[in-house]
Structure 1
Amino acid sequence: MSGSGTRDTRGQFRKGTSGNPKGRPKKPVTLRSSPFDVVVDRELTITRNGQPRTITMEEALQHRTYQDALAGKRMAEREVLKWIEKREDWYRRHAPDTSRDKVEFKMSPSPDNAKEALEVLGIVSRDERFDETDTYAPRQLLEPWAVQAAFDRRRGVAPLTDTEIASIRRCTRNPDTLRWPKERS
């Protein structure tokens, strides 16, 4: 052999020179799936309420884990808690930025005016039956939600009289939507 190229006079590769400059050919990567992955990728057909439905084995396993957690099995409870933490973390990362929400400030021209304050808070609304020039006193009507909240807070008091019921009906916008308290005898 001649001394040309990467070999010396004896046919040996020179020091620092490889006979295979590209290296050993790499083995082709074969993705081996575990037996668990093969099972999880399958689909099941279940019948619920007479309706067939196709679900993945993963969904079936999750459903079973939920059932076990509800039955009080500790490992299932831990797994469900991990799922909840992952979901909550995802929501935190993908939640819209609420720090930039615009806040609408409403102010009454006169802080001593209780009627305007109630209107700003949405407890009352203007009564359209009367215009601004009318001198009749009740120009505002209570919102049904505020009256309902007052009804819900009544505990152990005397039943409403007919006069009180008539007054509430007269001063409430849409009084027919109210759930009236049950009278005690």
Structure 2
Amino acid sequence: MDESPTLPSEAGVAVSSPQRGKQAEGGKSAPAGAQTALLGTGRRKESIARVRLVAGSGSILVNHRPYDAYFPREALRLAIRSPLLLTHQLGKYNVMASVEGGGLTGQAGALKLGIARALVALDPAHRVSLRSAGLLTRDPRQKERKKYGRKGARKRFQWTKR
């Protein structure tokens, strides 16, 4: 059987080059000095984060803004940096992410998962440490639906005895 090498596209991870799709159209490949971006997708609650990791100085941009301007709370910033700190890659890669949906906590969680998945695509040896720290596990908790006859998912309407 002919087994050609495949890209690590499992679990929302892909590798791309800046000239994606040019090989098939024009027959030319990407230039030899072109950097490849490692892609990772993370989700949490209603948020989706698409993360690109490129070798660089360590800047983290979220929706074209520095992450410390986008996320006001230090706990969220630490959560975003945690995969990079754990794998000792902080300062070696630039992170460019587009995040949509949900609130800031969900977006930070989605970003954390996307960065962790991109780091596994970079080096599969990181999988063990990231998995043991719980950074590769998608948080399955979702908002509980509102029930009829109630004010919310669990809260009852106000009841007066007399």
Q: Normalised by the size of structure 2, how large is the TM-score?
A: 0.22
Higher helix proportion: 1
Higher strand proportion: 2
Q: Which has the larger radius of gyration?
A: 1
